[in-house]
Amino acid sequence: MTMEFISGILEELKDRSLLRDYTTIESAQEPTIQINGKHYLSFCSNNYLGLANHPIVKQAAIEAIRQYGCGTGASRLVSGTMPLHTELEKNIAQFKKTEAALLFPTGYMANLGAICTLVSKEDIVIGDKLNHASIIDGCRYSGATFRVYPHKDINKLESLLQRSSSYRRKLVVTDSVFSMDGDTAPLVEIASAAKKYDALLMVDDAHATGVFGENGRGLIEHYGLEGQVEIIMGSLSKAIGSVGGFIAGSQQLIDFLKNKARHFIYTTALPPAVCAASLAGLCLIRKDLSLMNNLWENIRYLNARLSHFTPAITSESPIFPFVAGSAKDALSLSLKLFKNGILVPAIRPPTVPEGTCRLRVSLMANHKIHHLDRLIGVLCNIGFLKEHSSR
List active site positions: 179, 207, 238
Residue among 266, 208, 324 at smallest CA distance from 78 = 266
Write the single-letter amino acid at 391. R
Bridge partner residues of 379 (DSSP): none
Nearest 5°: phi and psi at 92? Answer: -65, -45
Bridge partner residues of 322 (DSSP): 359
Q: Check if the beta carbon of residue 301 is closer than 8 Å to that of residue 372.
A: yes
Residue among 175, 207, 234, 222 at smallest CA distance from 49 = 207
Give the DSSP letter of residue 33: E
Across the chain, the runs of DSSP E, i.e. the strands, are: 32-35, 38-42, 100-104, 124-128, 145-149, 170-175, 200-204, 231-235, 245-249, 309-310, 319-325, 342-343, 346-347, 357-362, 386-387
CB neighbours of residue 73 within 10 Å? 12
- Does 350 sit behind a cis peptide bond, omega within 30 degrees of 0 on the bond before it? yes
- CA 84 to CA 246: how far, in whole Å? 14
